[in-house]
Amino acid sequence: EAGVAQSPRYKIIEKRQSVAFWCNPISGHATLYWYQQILGQGPKLLIQFQNNGVVDDSQLPKDRFSAERLKGVDSTLKIQPAKLEDSAVYLCASSRWSGVGRYNSPLHFGNGTRLTVT
C-alpha cells in the first residue's frame, strides 16, 4: 500500500510569514495525526483527527497554528505568523480504525516537512 504522503519536503520562510503543509494519509485510515519534531527531540503530538473531527488539540498553539481535515481524508497544517522556534520537522501520521473498543492501531508516518524559519 502507498504510504503517508507529505509536501513540501522542505520549506524556508522568514519569521512572521505564513506556511502550510499538506498530508495525504494511507487510504482508508480514519485517524490522522500531526506531530512536531524539534532537532534532537522525539516527536510531539500537535493535533489528532478522527475522520474530520478533532480528538485532541491540547498541544496545538492555537494562536498561530491551525489544522483542518476536510472530507476526512487530506489534511493541512498552517502556521501564521511563524516564529523562529517553529523551526522543526512536521510529521503526519495515520492509522486505521480498529473498531469499537479498540484504539491502538499502529501509526504510519510520512517523512515530514522540514521547516526553517529565519
Write out the residues near other proteins by the rule CB under 8 A. Answer: 4, 33, 35, 41-45, 48, 56, 91, 93, 102-104, 106-112
Minimum CB separation from other proteins for residue 18, in Å?
A: 24
Instruction: Give the neighbor-by-neighbor strand order of the sheet with 19-24.
Output: 5-7, 19-24, 75-79, 65-68
| Residue placing its CB nearer to other proteins in the complex, 4 or 67 | 4
Minimum CB separation from other proteins for residue 111, in Å?
A: 5
| Residue placing its CB nearer to other proteins in the complex, 50 or 66 | 50
- Considering only CA atoms, which of 55, 46, 53 is closest in space to residue 69? 53
CA distance 55 to 68: 12
Minimum CB separation from other proteins for residue 35, in Å?
A: 8
Cβ distance 12 to 118 under 8 Å?
yes
| Residue placing its CB nearer to other proteins in the complex, 41 or 63 | 41
CA distance 92 to 26: 11
